[in-house]
Amino acid sequence: MINSTKNIVITGGPGSGKSTLINILSSKGYMCFPEAGRAIIQDQVLIDGNALPWVDRKAFAELMLCWDMRSWNIAGDLGGIHFFDRGIPDIVGYLNLCCLPIPAHLEAAIWQFRYHNTVFIAPPWPEIYKQDNERKQTFEEAIQTYQTMVTCYQNYGYELIELPCVAIEERANFVINKLQQ
């Protein structure tokens, strides 16, 4: 097992403010890695690819795994704290939501590429939830995703800290303060 106590995951359901929080943390000088799923969707749409959650879910999951392992490895070459908009265990949550089997190599990756034991999870937040070109889930699906991520991360031995539904600066300070404790 490779463990990085400097790799911090921020997870949760879609539309809960994860990416906005990542952007604020980046503006404060932290190294941040964007969400694989959104970037893959944008790239696949651009090239008319089929690794999309509404076309080929298995291919989409495999690309997310490749993206996330690469991001984890890049972070290993850098100093300081790194924030990830979702982590490798999120892929298990995605596959569970799609009622697809969990491949053995994904399980191996989760146990080999460990993040900081504390994972921040953004709860469903109806006041900020919006659908867009990449986020097609309903708010009810966002709630289900959140619940799946709670179970998934706990099953892999991570401690979850729920993010407060507060202004973005306050949310960023909450994360920074928790890490300094």
DSSP code per residue over the chain: -EE-TTEEEEEESTTSSHHHHHHHHHHTT-EEE--HHHHHHHHHHHHT-S-STTT-HHHHHHHHHHHHHHHHHHHHTS-S-EEEES-THHHHHHHHHTT----HHHHHHHHHEE--SEEEEEPP-TTT----SS----HHHHHHHHHHHHHHHHHTTPEEEEPPSS-HHHHHHHHHHHHH-
pTM for the whole structure: 0.90
Over range 49-54, report the average pLDDT.
93
Residue spans of the domains in the chain: they are 5-180
As a whole number, the mean pLDDT across the chain is: 90
CATH of 5-180 given 3.10.580.10, 3.40.50.300, 3.90.180.10, 1.10.10.200: 3.40.50.300
Q: pLDDT tens-digit profile of 57-109?
A: 999 999 999 999 999 999 987 878 999 999 999 999 999 999 999 999 999 99
Indicate the pLDDT class of residue 7, thresholds 50, 70 and 90. very high
With a pLDDT cut of 90, the percent of the chain lying above it is 73
φ/ψ of residue 124, rounded to 5: -55, 140
Residue 118 in contact with residue 8, Cβ under 8 Å? yes
pLDDT at 133: 60
